[in-house]
Amino acid sequence: MYPKIMIYVSMAGLMACQAKKGSIYPQQQNITEAVYASGIVKADRQYQAFATVTGLIDTIYVTEGQLVKKGQPILHIVNTATRLNTENVALSAANASVAANAARLNEAKINIATTKAQLDNAATLLQRQRNLWAQQIGTRNDLDQRELAYTNALHAWQAAQLQYDDLKKQIDFSAQQAQKNLAIAGTATNDYTVKSDVDGMVFQLNKKKGELVNPQSALALVGAANHFLLELQVDEHDIARIQNGMQVLYTMDSYKDKVFEAKLIKIYPAMDEHTRTFKVDAALVQSPPVLYPNLTLEANIVIRQHANAITIPANYLQPGDSVVLANGKKQKVMVGIRDYQKVEIISGITVKDELME
C-alpha cells in the first residue's frame, strides 16, 4: 500500500512531480518512499477515568484544564445503600470487639473461680473421708459419694476452663472478622472517590453533579499537561516495512499547509481485527505551537529517500515496467522507489528521452 497523501517538506528538490497529459521529459529530483498512516494526538499517559461503583456524583473537585497531582481527587460518588452498609458494619465491628465482650469473659472467669473453689472443697472432703475410712470410721458408700463429688467438681472446673478458652477464641475471631469487614467496607467507600492516576491535566469532564454513573461510565479524560505524542494506525500490509527510529512527517487540519516531524518510537504487536491495522506511537520532533488531545492527523512514515533521482509521473509507467517513447516505441526500464505521484527510474531512459502517456 502506498501513501494516500504525500507530505511536502521544505528541503530542496522534494517537490511533487506533476503528471501532465501529452509528452513529458523525466525530471531529476528527490523522491521519498513512505507508508501512509492516520491517527490522533494523545497526551502522554492519557487515559479515561472510570467509576468502579454505581452512584450519584455529589462533588466535583476540579475543572476542565486544571492541573492535578497523582492521587488528587477528581470527583466523589455517593450511594446511600453503601453508606448505610458501612455504618452497619462499623456497628457490628464495635459490638464484636473484645472490649464490648469483656462482661462475657469476666463471667466465664468467675465460673472458673467458682468451680475451682468447689473442686478444692470436694478434694478436702474426699481426703477427710479417706482418713476416716483408714481408721475404719464411716461406710464405703460415704467414701464413694465423696469420690464422685470430687470427680464431678473436677470435670466442672475443666469444663469452665474450656468454655472460657472457646469463648475467648470466638470473641477474638469475631472481632478480627468484623475489623476485616470494616476494612473492606472502608475500601469500598474509598472507591467512591475517583482520583487522578498521573500528574497532569484534566482535559475533559464527561459528567455533571447529580448524574448517575456506573463502572461503564467514562468520567474524565486525564493526561500529561505538556507532553504529547502521535498515535498512528498502519495497515497490516505495511507493518513489516516500518521500524522504530524512522522519520514521521505529519500534517493536521488545525495547521493547514504545515508539515511537522516526529520519530517512530513504538510498534504495538497486536493487530486490530476489526480495522486490520496496527497501532504505532511517534514522539514529536517538531511540535505545533498548541496541541490538544484527540486532534486528527495524517502522516507518512519515511521508509527511504533518494536524492537527484530520475523520476517520471506514475501514470507514465506501463504494465511490465516499461514506458512509451515519443516515437511510439516501448522501452523497458528498471524501477526504484515510488511515492503516490511519481516513480524512480534507475535505468532504461534519461532526462533527454521524451515520453508519451
Can you give the CATH number for the domain in which 290 is found? 2.40.30.170
Whether 18 is covered by a domain: the verdict is no
Whether 4 is covered by a domain: the verdict is no
Whether 8 is covered by a domain: the verdict is no
Split at pLDDT 50, 70, 90, the class of 71 is very high
pLDDT of the residue at 88: 65
pLDDT tens digits for 176-187? 887 777 776 665
Same domain, 241 and 351: yes
Split at pLDDT 50, 70, 90, the class of 80 is low
pLDDT of the residue at 142: 86
Burial tier of 269 (Cβ tally within 10 Å: 0-12, 13-18, 19+) = exposed
pLDDT of the residue at 82: 58
DSSP string, 121-135: HHHHHHHHHHHHHHT
pLDDT of the residue at 84: 52
Split at pLDDT 50, 70, 90, the class of 234 is very high
Same domain, 196 and 344: no
Structural domain boundaries enclosing 72: 47-77+192-223
Split at pLDDT 50, 70, 90, the class of 291 is very high
% of the chain surpassing 90 pLDDT: 62
Split at pLDDT 50, 70, 90, the class of 99 is confident
Same domain, 231 and 351: yes
Whether 58 is covered by a domain: the verdict is yes
**This prediction's pTM:** 0.58
CB 98 within 8 A of CB 175: yes
**Mean pLDDT across the stretch 164-190?**
75
pLDDT of the residue at 12: 33
Distance, CA of 270 to chain centre: 17
pLDDT tens digits for 146-157? 899 999 989 999
Q: What CA–CA distances, in Å, run from 168 to 87, 176, 322?
A: 26, 12, 97
Least confident of 21-35, 107-121, 168-182: 168-182
Taking residue 123's Cβ as centre, other Cβ atoms within 10 Å add up to 15
Give CA–CA dist 264/245, Å, rounded.
5
More confident residue, 167 or 194: 194
pLDDT beyond 60 at 40: yes
Split at pLDDT 50, 70, 90, the class of 211 is very high
pLDDT of the residue at 181: 75
Same domain, 203 and 62: yes
**Mean pLDDT across the stretch 28-56?**
92
Give CA–CA dist 84/344, Å, rounded.
75
pLDDT beyond 90 at 310: yes
Number of domains in the chain: 3
Same domain, 162 and 207: no
Mean pLDDT, rounded, of the chain = 86
What is residue 169's three-state secondary structure?
helix
Strands (E), the chain: 23-24, 27-43, 47-50, 55-60, 67-68, 73-78, 193-195, 200-205, 212-213, 218-223, 228-235, 247-252, 255-272, 277-284, 296-313, 322-325, 330-332, 334-338, 342-347, 355-356
DSSP string, 217-268: -EEEEEE-SS-EEEEEEEETTTGGG--TT-EEEEEETTEEEEEEEEEEEEEE
Same domain, 240 and 350: yes
pLDDT beyond 90 at 19: no
The CATH number of whichever domain residue 61 belongs to comes to 2.40.50.100
% of the chain surpassing 70 pLDDT: 86
Whether 1 is covered by a domain: the verdict is no
> How far separated are the first and last CA of the chain, in Å rounded?
23
Q: What CA–CA distances, in Å, run from 338 to 123, 319, 334?
A: 111, 15, 12
Split at pLDDT 50, 70, 90, the class of 98 is low
Whether 5 is covered by a domain: the verdict is no
pLDDT of the residue at 18: 42
